[in-house]
Chain A
Amino acid sequence: MPGQTTKFQVFFEDAREGDRLPKIELDASYTKLILAVAATGDWFPSHHDPEYARKQGQKDIYLNTTFIAGFLDRIITDWAGPRTFIMKRKFSMQRSIFAGDTVYGEGIVKGCRKDDEGKGLIDVDVMMSTQDGPCVPASATILVPCRGEE
């Protein structure tokens, strides 16, 4: 759940196909985009220099890959809880997210299965979008604890 400070955790036995990952929101202000550059160290100019971004054909500076990866992780663990290990995560940046956009994150459980060692895996689909529609479809496989494992 957004803004959790408790250690709420989804256990393998709790998750069902079709469960929704709650929608979260982020303001992609200029300040946020500059913070994203500072926090990731990604100084490629299209993320902080509007003139360079426009030369690329973009309307303004846009969020970098690493920040997007971190926000996708947050969408997943805000729902699943802090005892979650993200094993695989892929995403496709189909549309850029620009300064001034409002960003949304949400997702859905696609399946629950046990691996060869009996560990609980959950497959999720996640989407990052803005007020203008979908931007970054993603999917991940996460490892969560099973009840009685503690």
Chain B
Amino acid sequence: MSKTSQYQTEPKLAFGTYEDARAMIGHHGKVAFAESEINWPAIKLFCSATEDSNPSYWDPDFAKEQWSGIIAPPGMMMTFMLQLLWRPEGARATPFLAFDVPLPGDTLINVSTEAEFVKPFKVGDHINAYDTLADVSAEKETRMGVGHFVTTVTTYRNQTGEVVARNTNVMFRFTAKRES
């Protein structure tokens, strides 16, 4: 009997000092490719969660006339780079450079994003992306705990190499205030 796997849902974080983190500013992560091409079943699942009835996502005739095919909501952008929890040869690490930034905090929470969309995400597009570390803040205290704000810029391209979107993301890497 084969044993069940233990899902690794908590990212493997790099640990270090603020100075270590600052030294990484300007670094690029590896280019990572989406597990699958953008596909209609994934779009419908996403829209069933947000309860989004936009016919650009549901009605092939309308979508063909307007966009030359079904498109994905822009909000799906980050889903393209998220990884399966299990694969035959082992799960792949989530390709977020923010996790590789050495800092003291043992957990994280996402804070803000600023996205620029160049063209729609279309069914059949095979998206790839890479991160650049843009900034690491000095130590700050928030309602969550003490930590650092980590700013990354992600460049998304399609299979022809065209840039389709850019996203600037700020994540708070912190140690929680633990009561009791």
Contacts and interface: CB of A to CB of B under 8 A. Distances in A.
Interface of A: 3-5, 7, 26, 32, 35-36, 38-46, 48-49, 52, 55-57, 64-74, 77-78, 82-83, 85-93, 96
Given A46-B109, A92-B111, 11 more contacts: A38-B45, A43-B9, A57-B178, A65-B110, A70-B46, A70-B49, A73-B52, A73-B75, A74-B73, A82-B62, A82-B66
Nearest to A46: B109
A3 B117 CA distance: 25
Interface residues of B, number: 48
Majority-rule SS of B interface residues = mixed
Interface string B95-124: 000000000000101111111110010000
Interface stretch (B17-25, B79-87, B131-139, B155-163): B79-87
B55 A87 contact: no
B107 A87 contact: no
Contacts, number: 140
Contact of B11 (A40, A44, A65, A90): A44
Contact of A72 (B11, B75, B111): B75
B5 interface: no
A82 B55 contact: yes
Contacts of B113: 65, 69, 90-91
Contacts of A48: 9
Interface string B163-180: 000000000000011110
Residue picked from A66, A73, A96, most chain B C-beta under 10 Å: A66
Contacts of A65: 78, 110, 113
B75 A71 contact: yes
